[in-house]
Structure 1
């Protein structure tokens, strides 16, 4: 199976990948209103866990300077991820990603928004430049929502997923185990829970 290609989603060059999508059909009269609701949920990063349940990873938005914020995400922001299970000790148990791009696409028939994230340093630790994530810095996760005449969609596209080996020994072991699980489908299960939950409204 080959990775799907979309505007705003980086090309797959190496390592693992996944395409995780959920679609929901609404009547044409309410499609635009439903997409506005989806936009609000999509940009409420701090609430993602509340949509998915306590067993899901907790996401917290931080600004460029490493301060927690409660607003819509912006390019250059960071997201702190608290994945159930052991985290990276060097980053106090959290994984971090940086928002490298937010793109809006629209034509007369369809509309989509993508937000691409890449494993990053811990912005709270100014002295440490190490990548605080179980994937290497070449990996990306692109979150997408879209509206077409047929349906609305929430999706996550993982690209170029390889374990982060540039860390302390215990972190490397944890990264290898977590990344292997992610590339074998564990991450896709979590992301499917998110895409389903983002669309879980009437």
Structure 2
């Protein structure tokens, strides 16, 4: 299976990838109000775990200076991720990504928002190493869209490879979690989030 070609999503070049999508059909009369609700959920990063279910990762939104945020995400903000299992020592038990792009497309028949995230350093440790089990070649691309009377949430992982630019114990952890993710482990969590966001 080949990765989908999605406008704004980086091209798959090497490593693992996944495409996780969930859709919902709406009536013509309520598709816009349902999309507004989906937008609220999409932009409420701190609530993602409650939508995805108890066994999923926990996501926390931080601004570009590394302070907790309770607002619309912006380019340059960070997301702190607590995944089930052993934590990342470099990130004090957490994995971190930076929002490197946030785009919006609006047309008469379709509309979408795309958030592109890349593994990064813990914002409290700017001189440290990347605090994530994937290398900085990887991206997680989260999209919500409205087309006709259909809503969709998609999460597209690209260029997923273990992060070996880390301390010894983190290298071992990153290898096993990264390989597990490349073989479908992370797809399960992203699928839970995609389905949870769209289930009202």
TM-score band, normalised by the shorter chain?
over 0.9
Q: Which runs of 4+ in 1 moved over 4 A?
A: none
Paired residues of 2:116 and 2:142 also in contact (CA < 8 A)? yes
Structure 2: distance between partners of 1:45 and 1:172? 28
| Alignment match, 1:42 | 42
| Alignment match, 2:187 | 188
| Alignment match, 1:118 | 118
Structure 2: distance between partners of 1:15 and 1:73? 28
1:3-152 pair list within 5 angstroms: 3-128=3-128, 130-152=129-151
Q: Offset of 1:193 from its aligned partner?
A: 0.2
Paired residues of 2:135 and 2:162 also in contact (CA < 8 A)? yes
TM-score normalised by structure 2 residue count: 0.98
Q: Offset of 1:54 from its aligned partner?
A: 2.2
Q: Offset of 1:144 from its aligned partner?
A: 0.2
Structure 2: distance between partners of 1:75 and 1:2? 29
Superimposed CA distance per residue, residues 9-63 of structure 1 (whole angstroms, 9 cap, x where no aligned partner): 1111111100000001011110011000000000000000111222111101111
TM-score normalised by structure 1 residue count: 0.97
Paired residues of 2:98 and 2:118 also in contact (CA < 8 A)? yes
Paired residues of 2:53 and 2:196 also in contact (CA < 8 A)? no
Q: Offset of 1:134 from its aligned partner?
A: 0.2
Structure 1: distance between partners of 2:126 and 2:149? 47
Note if 1:173 corresponds to 2:161: no
Structure 1: distance between partners of 2:28 and 2:149? 8
Paired residues of 2:153 and 2:195 also in contact (CA < 8 A)? yes
Q: Offset of 1:150 from its aligned partner?
A: 4.0
| Alignment match, 2:152 | 153
SS at structure 1 position matched to 2:37: helix
